[in-house]
Chain A
Amino acid sequence: MTSDLRADVFGAEVVAEAQEIIQRYPRSRSALLPMLHLVQSIEGYVSPAGIAFCAAQLGLTTAEVDAVVTFYTMYKRKPCGEHLVSVCTNTLCAALGGDDIYKRLTTRLGTDDAPVGHEETAGEPGETGSITLEHAECLAACDLGPVIQVNYEYYDNQTVESAVDLVDSLRAGQRPAPSRGPALSSFRAVSRELAGFFDDLDTTVDGPSAAAETLRGARLAEDRGWTAPVMSDVPLPLPVAEEKK
């Protein structure tokens, strides 16, 4: 059964891409993390078939691969929605409203009586507008908190209202632009990028990057005429006499 699945889902093209990942590294096992992102891009999660595929490509046992999969939060064990919505509920974001946002989204995506829980999906996984919700640890955008990521693209300075609007739009099949980064794609599409495959990097690399907050220090310095001490081209220290051992 598993081998049938593997043949169906992971065809010759995927095998070629898996081999391409292996070529990036001096030792093949290093390819495991990107390869798991790759199988996730195809199935929308890391399935038993995906685990078997990686194991076969790398000459590992499925248990060895499984042990890795369960360690990392970005590998999902159940089929995910078109979009993965991650709400930062670490201390700082939570103090600024992240906990309220997460709580509201659980009922907005579910119902008051049956809220959608952590890593649960609203809608049929894979279908347009389906959303997997999770609470996330610090997403390293604390000056822009509370933050949400959709498919790991940043939506900065969120409120309960803006977060509800965001998931409503996603549920309706729309793709509101992130605060930073390119146009929103899907969980599967970004998983492919995490595996190191960029089908249109010249386009996706653009898009806004620095939020106003990011630039505040540099702008303030510019406005006030503050600078670092002037840099002039100084020779490197002279070579020390060779110490032969």
Chain B
Amino acid sequence: MSTDPVTPVLTKRWLSPRSWRLSTYEQLEGYTALRKALAATPEQLVNVVKDAGLRGRGGAGFPAGVKWSFMPPNEDKPHYLVINADEGEPGTCKDIPLMMADPHSLIEGCVIASYAMRSHHCFIYVRGEALHCVRRLNSAVREARAAGYLGQNILDTGYDLDITVHAGAGAYICGEETALLDSLEGRRGQPRLKPPFPAAAGLYAAPTTVNNVETIASVPFIVNAGSAWFRSMGREKSPGPKIFSISGHVTKPGQYEAPMGTTLRQLLELCGGMKDGIPLKFWTPGGSSTPMFTAEHLDVPLDFEGAAEAGSMLGTTAVQVFNETVSVPWAVMKWTQFYEHESCGKCTPCREGTYWLAQILERMVAGEGTVSDIDTLLDVCDNIFGRSFCALGDGAVSPIQSGIKYFRDEFLALCDSNAVNAARGNDERRELAGAHSR
């Protein structure tokens, strides 16, 4: 079926003046889905989200309805819904504009999802650096409570829910759902061993579901318009609209909400092409943890299957575009420094591995690398990938492995020129390098 190239659903209200206010939201069908949802059973809501095929928008793409159905039907312990609003994956910048412009869509989604999972306390864990989102969400919670959409006996249905907005304190790892839960419990944000999964033992060891902002903000639309409507956009296994965040060397970077499966070629048309006509060199389909693509991949359908079949991942559809002026070894070094800084230190492969990877890349970019460093990098990557406690380790090796896969010549050329310099008898520099402690 054919849809328009841009399909504003989540982003549509952003155009309205003072879109963050309850009065604006109510004028634009806000909280109509909530009335409908509270008149239904939790099972009906889980089923409509399952039927819609809504997949998690935080990167992993797990079907949201299936995740919800893991929550136990009884209420022996309190149930919790926790929203992961700790947006920090390099390149990702969709949840922050959503929470700034349309916080009530997230709040409405939270109430519906909490009701569907028999939860009476929902937490929104917002990245601390997203200060203005913290304000907007707190204000939205106050407005919603005053209007009877939150609190005791919501809309006279007898359903109670409170939402607590919780600001983080600066740690990328807290975007990992179990690290987020530890952080929300007032601890260092370090991942937990799974199983048990959060639905069995999450926040305070009680049944918990952690969902991304964009996922939950999509729910009111699905409740109102149904699963078939949602499936009329995107592709069979990855339906719906998706906010593509296009950044970097393009003419008009920004947020473009398009059907799942849109290609970079199509996105580049929307955002005015490459800036100043300088050709594309490499790009990430969904943040720095997703292996990079090149100009060969312009026609890869950007949905969960398409990106995976082409050797990467959809991630958060954070499309970072780099032109020919950018050195791949340099970019890879910068990303690796990021992972080194953000590694939580819990498991050895990631803690030690990222530390050594960063040093090797720094040495290479500083003009002191050798060709054998390339193999060392890949070897260390092999010892991190699949051997780390959580996905941060896998993400950390993505830029390196994909960078060397597509641009090995550039790494080689860098090391060759280093070798030439060394052969010239640059003893002074070698001494300096040897004495240098990093």
Binding site for B on A (CB under 8 A): 24-27, 29-34, 36-37, 58, 67-68, 71-75, 86, 89-92, 94-96, 136-145, 149, 151-154, 180-182, 190, 193-196, 198, 201-202, 204-207, 209-210, 212-222, 224, 226-229, 231-240
Contact = CB atoms under 8 A, between A and B. Distances in A.
Contacts of B91: 92, 138, 142
Contacts, number: 291
Contact of B132 (A181, A224, A227): A181
Contact of A226 (B5, B164, B169): B5
A186 to B, nearest CB: 13
Contacts of B138: 196, 198, 201, 205
B264 interface: no
A236 B171 contact: no
A3 to B, nearest CB: 23
B189 interface: yes
B129 interface: yes
Interface string B70-98: 00000000100000000111111101110
Interface in B12-61: 12, 14-15, 18-20, 36-37, 40-41, 43-45, 47-48, 51
Contacts of A90: 90, 334-335, 338
A210 B88 CA distance: 19
A29 B5 CA distance: 48
B167 A37 contact: yes
Nearest to A207: B132
A96 B185 contact: no
Contacts of A220: 6, 256, 270
A37 B5 CA distance: 44
A74 B326 contact: no
Given A204-B135, A234-B228, A237-B51, A194 B255 contact: no
- Secondary structure of the B contact surface, majority rule: mixed
B341 interface: yes
B254 A213 contact: yes
B406 interface: no
Contacts of B322: 92, 95
A149 B184 CA distance: 25
B338 A137 contact: yes
B166 A33 contact: yes
B218 to A, nearest CB: 12
Nearest to A235: B226
6 contacts: A27-B204, A73-B169, A74-B170, A92-B248, A142-B92, A201-B142
A143 B246 contact: yes
Nearest to B97: A214
Interface string B194-226: 000000000010000000000000000101111
A116 B288 CA distance: 29
A67 B226 CA distance: 47
B305 interface: no
Contact of B128 (A74, A212, A231): A74
A218 B6 CA distance: 8
10 closest A-B pairs (Cβ-Cβ)?
A: A234-B226, A216-B254, A217-B256, A32-B186, A226-B4, A142-B247, A72-B169, A74-B170, A73-B170, A231-B225
Contacts of B229: 229, 231-232, 234
Contacts of A198: 135, 138-139
Interface in B318-349: 318, 320, 322, 326, 331, 334-335, 338, 341-342, 344
Given A91-B334, A152-B129, A236-B36, A216 B172 contact: no
A201 B139 CA distance: 7
Nearest to B140: A205
Contacts of B303: none
